[in-house]
Amino acid sequence: MSVDHINTRYIKVDQNNPKADAIAWAGLILRQGGLVAFPTETVYGLGADAANARAVARIFEAKGRPPDNPVIVHVASRSQLSALVASVPREAEILMDAFWPGPLTIILPAGRGVSEAVTAGLATVAVRMPDHPVALALIKAAGVPVAAPSANLSGKLSPTHAGHVLQDLDGRIEAILDGGPTGVGVESTVLDMTAEAPVILRPGGITSEELSACLGKVIIDSDVITGCYDGESPRSPGMKYTHYAPRAPLLLVTGNQQDVALKIRQIACAEKSGGRRVGILTYSDSSDFSAAGEVVVAGCRKKPETVAAGLYTALRCFNELGVDVILAEGLDEKGVGLAVMNRLKKAAGGRIIEV
């Protein structure tokens, strides 16, 4: 779908002291039906007035996003939920007390006035309160809840820097607010509170362990573990479609660390003998792969939160290096490591070797 060219304004904003005039101007753009990319603590979001169906439709046009993929609505206060959800169960209030503002999206029954463009025709709506001063200031300035998926072309890597947004969406949206790099680095955890028991549909910055400590047992959807989705219509953003793929095919290797290192070297040798340029995604406390290919370090294995923060930037490095294939080292699926592995499995598209 072609998109009319727009003069995209790029504005740097100090996240510790957002300029009132810049935020007010961006809020006006949203109220007038425009699109604004802005930083959150997870990734950059592409925002539109959630109550304006045409503005939300423009998000899908700008991103090339499939229409059956619901979007998250961001709020700056709980009072904004009344226009979005039919009810808020006590368990959801407990989560909001514990994790809002923060990287937790909660799926609740949708209110009557919520646009189908937001819900993708589902009876539920995904809501969250971001933990970022620029995001909160923008939502307050707009005076409306803000629908916002990640600010990238559909199927591409999510943006953790404003420059990433500019690469994908320059000429497609009205404005980009540059508030510096994001902190968490992977998208929010999505928790479905409309089922009999809470279900994690997408792992993120809030871990299953943290949620269980709050609520008791929390179920992890099987698609989270496999990285695949076989349903007809996604129940949550980030389920059905790949958002995390670099240009080159990615092969994920999992298992014992020493066995994984050996397998990666073997595959790299075979690929290089075939004339292909090899990229290797690894960690600062892992094996030395410098002789095997172009090495990019995503973070520290023992500190999976650092891997989450650096994952998308690391994958973008391979785009710049122009490698033909990427060999990615697996991570322990505990804590935030579950979110990292979920993204890597999706990026691999089923190309996974267990050793």
Looking only at the bridges linking them, the beta strands covering 189-192 and 199-202 are antiparallel
- What confidence score (pLDDT) does residue 148 get? 98
Task: Report yes or no: 143 and 29 within 8 Å, Cβ to Cβ.
Answer: no
Structure tokens at 97: 């007390």
Q: Do domains 9-226 and 250-354 have the same CATH topology?
A: no
- What confidence score (pLDDT) does residue 242 get? 56
Task: Report yes or no: 215 and 95 within 8 Å, Cβ to Cβ.
Answer: yes
250-354 falls under which CATH superfamily?
Answer: Threonylcarbamoyl-AMP synthase, C-terminal domain (3.40.50.11030)
- Encode pLDDT of 240-251 as tens digits: 555 578 999 999
- What confidence score (pLDDT) does residue 224 get? 92
- Encode pLDDT of 186-203 as tens digits: 999 999 999 889 999 999
DSSP string, 171-184: TTSSEEEE----SS
Spatial CA neighbour of 185 closest among 41, 11, 20:
41
- What confidence score (pLDDT) does residue 20 get? 87
- What confidence score (pLDDT) does residue 243 get? 56
H or E stretch covering 10? strand 9-12
- Looking at domain 9-226, its CATH architecture is Alpha-Beta Complex (3.90)
- What confidence score (pLDDT) does residue 155 get? 86
247: burial class by Cβ within 10 Å (0-12, 13-18, 19+)?
Answer: middle
Length of the chain: 355
Q: Is pTM, for the whole model, over 0.85?
A: yes
- What confidence score (pLDDT) does residue 225 get? 86
Looking at the DSSP bridge assignments, the partners of residue 12 are 178
145: burial class by Cβ within 10 Å (0-12, 13-18, 19+)?
Answer: buried
Residue-by-residue pLDDT tens, the chain, 355 positions: 567 789 999 999 998 887 789 999 999 999 999 999 999 999 999 999 999 999 999 999 999 998 889 999 999 999 999 999 999 999 999 999 999 999 999 999 999 989 999 999 999 999 999 999 999 999 999 999 999 999 999 989 999 999 999 999 999 999 999 999 999 999 999 999 998 899 999 999 999 999 999 999 899 999 998 876 655 556 666 555 555 789 999 999 999 999 999 999 999 999 999 999 999 999 999 999 999 999 999 999 999 999 999 999 999 999 999 999 999 999 999 999 999 999 999 999 999 999 9
- What confidence score (pLDDT) does residue 229 get? 60
- What confidence score (pLDDT) does residue 101 get? 98
Half-sphere exposure of 36 (CA within 13 A, CB side): 30
Domain boundaries of the chain, sorted by first residue: 9-226, 250-354
- What confidence score (pLDDT) does residue 209 get? 97
- For residue 264, the Cα-to-chain-centroid distance in whole angstroms is 27
